Amino acid sequence: MGLSLSFRDQTAPMPPFRGVWRGCSVEHVVLNSTDGYDFRFSGESHYLALHDLKLRDGELRVDDMAPVRSRDLRDTMTFLPAGRKVSGWSLPSVRENAFTAVYFDPALLNDELEARYNAGPPPPAIYARDVRLRSTLTKLRDLTIQGGDALAAESLCIVAAIEVFGISKPPVSGRLSARQLADVRAYIDANLEKSISLSELARVADLSRFHFSRAFKASTGCSPHAFVTAQRLEAASRALRDSALPIAHIGLTAGFGSADQFRRAFLAAYGMSPLQYRRSQT
């Protein structure tokens, strides 16, 4: 089972934002009540949470460890290895409280990260603080809320796993062969209008997602997600210059999930909106 919440006044939280990708699932929960709730977790997944919570009071207990009491949980994180049992209760303060929970498949992590996966998962970490991990989880939270693409989500999940499990960088960064890189680029070009996942690209190169991500960056100087986004933007800019197609259609054809996503990515890369760019080319 995953994290279970039981509200004392029977007021359920707002429906969570959810994302499910290979080996990883994420949910972002916004609490809409200041009344108390009980919670518990046990299961076959590793659990990682980013908290944006302030409490009037609360308690958390992991297995037979001493209970932990804390009130200001903003920007803290909790990690629970698979098989651990946690329970507790909380009385939220009057503010918008929320948390983001990430569930990792241990077996798939072991396969993906191979020898760099520690001999065993680290012990539970309750209300810990880590700037790098918080940054990664914040990006994953925002992507889950906004509905970003699978390539970015899978990449962030792997980065989060690496940061949690303390996996060291390999001493020698391998590169993709010329054939592997050509095959991956051809696959991206042929599927640019679709949602492209990290799993698909790794499969084309016949590598695990972990090794593919590192080898691709060593070969191109950028992450798979950044590369695919750049290819999408290049295709879109050509269409804006050379055709009269509607801007929304161009964005979708280039593989952006929505007009807003296209506009934000284009503005970040070119310093102007797609419409402004089109007008500047006439």
Does the structure show a pLDDT above 50 at 171?
no
Class of domain 232-280: mainly alpha
Give, in order, the Cα–Cα distances in Å from 49 to each of 22, 55, 62, 124, 140: 18, 16, 15, 12, 11
Q: What is the 3-state secondary structure (H, E, C) of the chain?
A: CCCEEEECCCCCCCCCEEEEECCEEEEEEEECCCCCEEEEECCCCEEEEEEECEEEEEEEEECCCCCECCCECCCEEEEECCCCCEEEEEEECCCCEEEEEEEECHHHHHHHHHHHCCCCCCCCEEEECCHHHHHHHHHHHHHHHHCCCHHHHHHHHHHHHHHHHCCCCCCCCCCCCHHHHHHHHHHHHHCCCCCCCHHHHHHHHCCCHHHHHHHHHHHHCCCHHHHHHHHHHHHHHHHHHHCCCCHHHHHHHCCCCCHHHHHHHHHHHHCCCHHHHHHHCC
Instruction: Name the more confident of 95 and 171.
Output: 95
The band of 36, judged by pLDDT with boundaries at 50, 70 and 90, is confident
CA 133 to the chain's CA centroid: 11
Q: Which pLDDT value is given to residue 123?
A: 85
pTM of structure: 0.74
**CA–CA distance, 171 with 31 (Å, rounded to integer):** 44
The 10s digit of each residue's pLDDT in 107-128 is 887 777 765 555 567 888 899 9
CATH architecture of structural domain 4-165:
Sandwich (2.60)
Average pLDDT for residues 141-159, to the nearest whole number?
90
Which amino acid would we find at residue 65? M
Q: Which pLDDT value is given to residue 170?
A: 44
